[in-house]
Amino acid sequence: MPHGTDSRFPAAMRLKRRDDFRCVFQHGSVWRGRWFTAHVLPREEGCRLGIVIGRRWGPAVERNRMKRLFREAFRQNKTRIPASDIIVRPADACREANVEALGRMLVLAANESMDKRGDR
C-alpha cells in the first residue's frame, strides 16, 4: 500500500467512544446483508467507522484480519459514503469476502440506510 495522506485511516474516521457506539445502536437504522449487519446514523460532516466483532467469531488473528479488511474497504470508498457513523458486525459468511466486495456493500448499506430514513 502506498504511503500518502490518502492511504491512512486517521482517528477522525474511527468510532472510538462507548457513547458514540451506544448512540448509533439506539438511534441508527439497521441494514442486514449477507456478509455483515450495519448500523447507520447520519451526522453533519464526514463519515466514521466502528467494527464490532466478538470472540466467538474466531481467533484473534482472524478477527484482526477482518477488521483490517473492513478498514481498508471503508478507506477506499470514503468519498462514496454519505456523512454518517457506521458500525459493522461481520457475519460468518464474511470470511469469503474481499476488500472490493466489502467496499461495495458498505456503500450500499450506507446509501440504503440513509434513503430509508429520508436523510438524503
Q: What is the pLDDT of residue 113?
A: 87
Q: What is the pLDDT of residue 119?
A: 59
User: Could you give the 3-state DSSP secondary structure of residue 60?
Assistant: helix
What fold, for 12-117? Ribosomal Protein S5; domain 2 (3.30.230)
Q: Which value, in Å, is the radius of gyration of the alpha carbons in the chain?
A: 14
Report how far residue 5's alpha carbon sits from residue 11's, in angstroms, rounded to the nearest whole number: 13
Q: What is the pLDDT of residue 37?
A: 95
Q: What is the pLDDT of residue 1?
A: 46
77 with 109: CB under 8 angstroms?
no
Q: Where are the domains of the chain?
A: 12-117
74 with 50: CB under 8 angstroms?
no
pLDDT tens readout for residues 29-64: 999 999 999 999 999 888 999 999 999 988 999 999
Q: What angle do CA 10, 13, 16 make, to 5 degrees?
A: 100
84 with 23: CB under 8 angstroms?
no
Low-confidence ranges of the chain (pLDDT < 50): 1
Burial of 58 (0-12, 13-18, 19+ CB in 10 A): middle
